[in-house]
Structure 1
Amino acid sequence: MADHLKLRLPDCAPETAARSAGWSALALCYGLLVTLVLAGLGWVYFGFTYRGDHLRASDYHYPEDYRPACAGGLGAVADHERAPTAAGLHFSVTTPRNYRADFAHPLLVVWAPSGLSEQLSERFTGLTGAATERGFIVVYSRSVPLGEKALRALAEIPAAAMAKWCIDPARVAYTGHSDGGTVSNALAVLPGLDRRPAVIAPSAMGMQAQDMAAFACPAPTPVMLMHNQGDHHFPDYGVGVANWWARCNGCSTHLDAAGFADCEAFSGCVAPTLLCRAPGGHAHWPGFEHRVIEFIDGVMPR
């Protein structure tokens, strides 16, 4: 038996070594794959997200002569406070850091791109600091698969925020990117809703001119329509929708240079109507290039 084992051991050694080498190579391949995936995620995170002051609430310089609203005061300072609607849709709320419960604040709702939570949507758009500095209460929604039923459910988010914080219902703005842009635009025209936004600034939305043909014009609405020049996912969708809004807002077809980078303004409008086309593809959020918060604040009813 000992002699037999001695004879067999040399035969087995090369096979064992080969198997061990194979597993080592496989482990190395998996290790490299994981490293590449993590590096890719890191590149996406640092290349496409905002951090620091972009995500922190700012103080707002409240006017000294404002007329108190929300009798007795409503709500308190909120720092990324999470809340659901009656239908179970999730959103987060951030107020100015020095929030006053008797001041009727404007509301900015940022609708999420497909697949993003309210936290990731905030990191992607980075609007919290700039918006709260101008007195906005900021709401970030969580993404849901879109359809008419989902859109009508999402439309309840502003009311849910108004029930807990002092918000002027006539001063509500919508923005968002990709699916978030689609929601911003759709909720401004979808019939049968209890409220509509006072201002919209959709980016990279998936609606186009032929979709808009099914809707009647709402009341004149200031619009900053952002659609990047290199958006090959929804190529040139923004132009047709901008023309639809220009018609509804009583504009001529003539475009002039606007006071915002890479933006043109339709002339003769009852409500400002801008078409903004920054360099970049579908994944690029151009809000800061176009100074979207400055636009929204500037055209918001007072």
Structure 2
Amino acid sequence: MNKWRKSAGLSTLPIVYLVLLVALTLALVYIYKNYSYDGDNLQAQPFDYPVDSAPAEQCMEKSGLVADHKLLHSGKKIRFNVTTPTNYRGNFPHPLLMVWAPSGLNESLSERFTGLTGPATEQGYIVVHVASVPLGIKALIELSSIPQQVMDTWCVATDHVYYTGHSDGGTVSNALAILPERAISPTVIAPSAMGMQGDDMDDYECPPPVSVMLMHNKGDSHFPDYGNNVAGWWAQCNQCGEPSPSLSHGGCVEYAGCSGGVRTMFCQGDGNHAHWPGFEHSLLEFFKAHDNGG
């Protein structure tokens, strides 16, 4: 009798594993359908280049051509892809948008999660999606080398380098603006749902003024209330005044009178940790204001 019970118990293990597998599959399907983009958001678009733009002399030796999700690797084999406008001009300096991935997502899944490729290339950006890697100082230093690798090949306006990303990608966006060992410094960052707190920021010196849009959902139970103190740290570094509701970016407050004309925002919307709020807070419009000198 005991032997029979033992055998019956063992025979239920495959059933348990099957149920768990089905549940996991359904959860992934739900996340994929509710937290990802498709269609035009993933397709490169043409850019309406200014008719009076002169060729950029600094780009004459660059070899980059039109790129449609061109897969490349960093020196230490971190995967990333590059997408340009479909009518890419090699003698025009483009803004560069680096999209850092949430934990566990490769460059393609990160693109589906944020949906920035189509809207950004239509505005003239070269868009780079970088695969997730376990984070640490060495990994961050290697990640910081990727923008320069892109700039060595394609025509990029070096004073128009933008970082964004969600969760781990938000952490990377923020960390690579303050890490002393960073290869280059971004001009604007827009971290979302990052895992850094105000106490973490206190270990670093202020960089030169950087425009910041820090996004953190109200329902983020994974990193609850992480964003507010970090926004305050940036506001202090950027020598800003008091915050007030933004008239141009929903769910955001903007700190007044920041040094050097930079902008500093803290944005909170509805949603949990898995929700990417970039479009709700008009992320690309925030970047575009810098492109236009505002």
Q: Same fold (TM over 0.5)?
A: yes
Name the CA distance, whole Å, in 1 between partners of 2:286 and 2:42: 20
Among 272, 286, 289, the alignment partner of 1:295 is 286
Deviation at 1:255, TM superposition (A): 2.3
Deviation at 1:72, TM superposition (A): 5.4
Post-superposition Cα deviations, 1:197-252, rounded to whole Å, max 9, x if no partner, equal 01000000111111111111111111100011111111111100100111111111
Aligned-partner SS, 2:158: strand
Question: Does the C-alpha gap of structure 1 residues 32 and 182 become closer, same or farther in structure 2, counting only changes over 3 Å?
Answer: closer
Post-superposition Cα deviations, 1:71-106, rounded to whole Å, max 9, x if no partner, equal 155311111000011221110000001111111111
Determine if contact 2:95/2:157 at 8 Å carries over to the other structure: yes
TM-score normalized by the length of structure 1: 0.88
Name the CA distance, whole Å, in 1 between partners of 2:196 and 2:84: 31
Determine if contact 1:258/1:274 at 8 Å carries over to the other structure: no
Name the CA distance, whole Å, in 1 between partners of 2:128 and 2:292: 19
Among 59, 63, 77, the alignment partner of 2:50 is 63
Among 220, 229, 232, the alignment partner of 1:243 is 232
Question: Does the C-alpha gap of structure 1 residues 216 and 39 become closer, same or farther in structure 2, counting only changes over 3 Å?
Answer: same
1:281 matches 2:272: yes
Q: Which residue of 2 aligns with 1:234?
A: 223
Among 51, 54, 72, the alignment partner of 2:41 is 54
1:164 matches 2:164: no
Q: Which residue of 2 aligns with 1:182?
A: 171
Post-superposition Cα deviations, 1:166-225, rounded to whole Å, max 9, x if no partner, equal 111111000000000000001101113331001000000111111111111111111100
Name the CA distance, whole Å, in 1 between partners of 2:243 and 2:29: 44
1:198 matches 2:167: no
Determine if contact 1:171/1:301 at 8 Å carries over to the other structure: no
Determine if contact 2:243/2:253 at 8 Å carries over to the other structure: no
State the AA in 2 paired with 1:150.
A
Q: Which residue of 1 aligns with 2:82?
A: 93
Aligned-partner SS, 2:173: helix
Aligned pairs, number: 283
1:173 matches 2:155: no
Name the CA distance, whole Å, in 1 between partners of 2:15 and 2:243: 61
Name the CA distance, whole Å, in 1 between partners of 2:13 and 2:273: 36
Question: Does the C-alpha gap of structure 1 residues 257 and 169 become closer, same or farther in structure 2, counting only changes over 3 Å?
Answer: closer
Name the CA distance, whole Å, in 1 between partners of 2:14 and 2:215: 46
RMSD: 2.0
Moved more, 115-124 or 267-276: 267-276
Structure 1: which 5+ runs fail to align?
1-14
Deviation at 1:254, TM superposition (A): 3.3
Identity of aligned residues (%): 52
TM-score normalized by the length of structure 2: 0.90
State the AA in 2 paired with 1:284.
H
Deviation at 1:26, TM superposition (A): 7.9
Structure 2: which 5+ runs fail to align?
none
Among 203, 209, 232, the alignment partner of 2:198 is 209
Post-superposition Cα deviations, 1:26-82, rounded to whole Å, max 9, x if no partner, equal 877666554433322211111111101010011100001112121155311111000
State the AA in 1 paired with 2:138.
K
Determine if contact 2:141/2:183 at 8 Å carries over to the other structure: no
